[in-house]
Amino acid sequence: MYSSLLTSLENGIFTITINRPDKLNALNRSVFTDLNHALDEVYAKPEIRSVIITGAGTKAFVAGADISEFSGLSVEESKALAKAGQDTFFRIENAPKPVIACVNGFALGGGCELAMSCHFRIASDNAKFGQPEVNLGLIPGYGGTQRLVQLIGKGRALELLMSANMIDAPTALQYGLVNYVVAQEELLTKAKEILTTINSKAPIAVAKCIEAANAVFNETQNGYLTEVNGFGDCFGTEDMKEGTTAFLEKRKAIFAGK
Ligand code: COA
């Protein structure tokens, strides 16, 4: 169905695997087209409760935008390329379902940016993160300058952006760029364990958590107001009635996503 992705759905968890291992899963046009279609599925299908994004093989998550597609682009064309990449990654960040990056190797340039657009990240112990664009006479174009500052702070972000240095998985953990570092063979298991927990919670409440947390970084939104509205909207759901009733009746809540 997809030429550059593998997808599977198991127990409500939709796994998207970027599948160009011979090119270290570099993001070319075909990957972006497929990724947008996969995101259409994520947004539209109620049976998809949560998402894992990872890379094929054991060496790379994604080694960046496909550099071979950069040659010959005009200034205007390259701006359009960056804008389109940013738009795709906004769709990940604003998805109403949790999206976790399982970083199974190099996450460089656009790969680091893809991982940062996910709601959180788990890394294998061989993972390496970096924004090497200055090596190419470039800067990140898919949101990297913004999200790296958000996630690890301005000083550490600017050091990585300006030096092109890579950091290893333990350093990424120390910086707060990833939530866990695990052995490569345990990466998907760890993500599925966390997502199984999240999938047992009220889906609308989960979506409202994402919306409110994203509002922190959105200048056009008042985050506290987003929280007030989300809290209130939850009171209008069947799941809130079920959750509070189940607590008082000392039983496990069963959420319907309504
Ligand atoms: N775009 C296009 N192709 C890429 C790529 C990218 N971002 N990253 C890796 N590849 C390709 C290589 O060209 C190579 O293809 P080939 O076998 O047809 O020659 C293949 O993937 C394997 O990469 P290679 O460089 O041989 O592996 P390595 O183990 O020697 O080095 C890296 C691994 C990640 C250090 C190196 O590939 C690299 O620096 N990649 C570019 C990272 C980057 O600058 N990303 C930001 C882009 S804006």
pLDDT band at 74 (very low <50, low <70, confident <90, very high): very high
Taking the model in full, what pTM does it have? 0.98
pLDDT value of position 226: 98
Query: Does residue 57 lie within any of the structural domains?
Result: yes
Determine the distance separating the centroid of ligand 1 and the alpha carbon of 34, expressed in angstroms.
21
One domain for residues 178 and 95: yes
Query: Does residue 171 lie within any of the structural domains?
Result: yes
Query: Does residue 254 lie within any of the structural domains?
Result: no
One domain for residues 141 and 54: yes
Determine the distance separating the centroid of ligand 1 and the alpha carbon of 63, expressed in angstroms.
6
Pick from 84, 81, 88, 128: nearest CA to 109 = 128
d(CA 58, CA 56): 7
Determine the distance separating the centroid of ligand 1 and the alpha carbon of 105, expressed in angstroms.
13
Q: What percent of the chain has pLDDT over 90?
A: 99
Query: Does residue 91 lie within any of the structural domains?
Result: yes
One domain for residues 104 and 132: yes
One domain for residues 193 and 218: no
One domain for residues 154 and 216: no
Query: Does residue 255 lie within any of the structural domains?
Result: no
pLDDT value of position 31: 98
Query: Does residue 68 lie within any of the structural domains?
Result: yes
pLDDT value of position 247: 97
Q: Which atom of ligand 1 is nearest to the CA of 67?
A: 1
Probe residue for ligand 1, chosen from 24, 29, 160 as the CB with the greatest number of ligand atoms within 8 Å: 24
Mean pLDDT of 156-165: 98
d(CA 258, CA 238): 5
pLDDT band at 50 (very low <50, low <70, confident <90, very high): very high
**Total count of domains within the chain:** 2
One domain for residues 178 and 53: yes
Query: Does residue 253 lie within any of the structural domains?
Result: no
pLDDT band at 231 (very low <50, low <70, confident <90, very high): very high
pLDDT value of position 83: 98
**Which is it for strands 180-182 and 120-124: parallel, antiparallel or unpaired?**
parallel
pLDDT value of position 1: 86
One domain for residues 186 and 237: no
The domain in which residue 210 lies consists of: 201-248
Q: Domain boundary at 181, 198, 215, which?
A: 198
State the CATH number of the domain containing residue 142. 3.90.226.10
One domain for residues 193 and 205: no
List, for residues 176-202, the tens digit of each pLDDT value: 999 999 999 999 999 999 999 999 999
Which residue's CA is the nearest one to ligand 1's atom 28?
Answer: 24
One domain for residues 67 and 192: yes
pLDDT band at 56 (very low <50, low <70, confident <90, very high): very high
As for ligand 1, residues whose beta carbon falls within 6 Å of it are: 23-24, 26, 63-68, 106, 108-110, 132-133, 135-136
Query: Does residue 257 lie within any of the structural domains?
Result: no
Determine the distance separating the centroid of ligand 1 and the alpha carbon of 128, expressed in angstroms.
13
One domain for residues 208 and 120: no
Which residue's CA is the nearest one to ligand 1's atom 29?
Answer: 59
Determine the distance separating the centroid of ligand 1 and the alpha carbon of 85, expressed in angstroms.
19
pLDDT band at 116 (very low <50, low <70, confident <90, very high): very high
Q: Which atom of ligand 1 is nearest to the CA of 108?
A: 45
Catalytically active residues, by annotation: 113, 133
Mean pLDDT of 151-171: 98
One domain for residues 79 and 133: yes
Contact between residue 182 and residue 122 where contact means Cβ atoms under 8 Å apart: yes
One domain for residues 173 and 210: no
Probe residue for ligand 1, chosen from 23, 61, 129 as the CB with the greatest number of ligand atoms within 8 Å: 23
Q: Domain boundary at 183, 198, 213, which?
A: 198
State the CATH number of the domain containing residue 214. 1.10.12
Mean pLDDT, the chain, rounded, equals 98
Which residue's CA is the nearest one to ligand 1's atom 21?
Answer: 23
